[in-house]
Amino acid sequence: MTERFRLRWTESAVLDLEAILDHIAERDSVAVAAAARVHERIIARIDSLQKLARRGRRIPELKALGVTEYREWIVNPYRVCFRLVGRDVVLLAILDGRRNVEDLLIERALRFEAD
């Protein structure tokens, strides 16, 4: 029997997805359709985590530091970052894989301290 997981979105992951789609769509009307396609691809991949969450790879930058509880799936060029908590897949972030992950984490930490 296949394990089933429940998806839980963090506010950060929701805001990440919105920012990605806004960035794509703001170029022109053709880009709006491109943003819709990206949205469909990302959501389909996230939905598949309900059955395949354990197949996500450990985030390499964190694994190198000995932190192994965080996983990711690539939806090229984006990285869907999550953590398994019991029977839940907690979606933590959706990052642009073309950017340096360390820079993104520092940026988030600074934003968090400013709030």
When divided into structural domains, the chain yields a total of 1
pLDDT at 113: 55
Query: What is the CATH number for 95?
Result: 3.30.2310.20
* Residue 90 belongs to some domain of the structure: yes
* Residue 64 belongs to some domain of the structure: yes
**Which residues constitute the domain of residue 20?**
6-114
DSSP conformation class of 69 = S
* Residue 1 belongs to some domain of the structure: no
Share of the chain above pLDDT 90, in %: 57
**Distance between CA atoms of residues 45 and 49, nearest Å:** 7
* Residue 29 belongs to some domain of the structure: yes
Query: What pTM value is reported for the model?
Result: 0.85
**How far is CA 40 from each of CA 37, 71, 76, 98, rounded to the nearest angstrom?**
5, 21, 13, 20
pLDDT at 111: 66
Sign of CA dihedral 65, 67, 16, 98: positive
**Distance between CA atoms of residues 37 and 25, nearest Å:** 11
pLDDT tens-place string over residues 48-70: 999 998 888 999 888 888 889 99
**CA 19-21-23 angle, 5° bins:** 65
DSSP conformation class of 55 = G
* Residue 97 belongs to some domain of the structure: yes
* Residue 83 belongs to some domain of the structure: yes
* Residue 101 belongs to some domain of the structure: yes
* Residue 103 belongs to some domain of the structure: yes
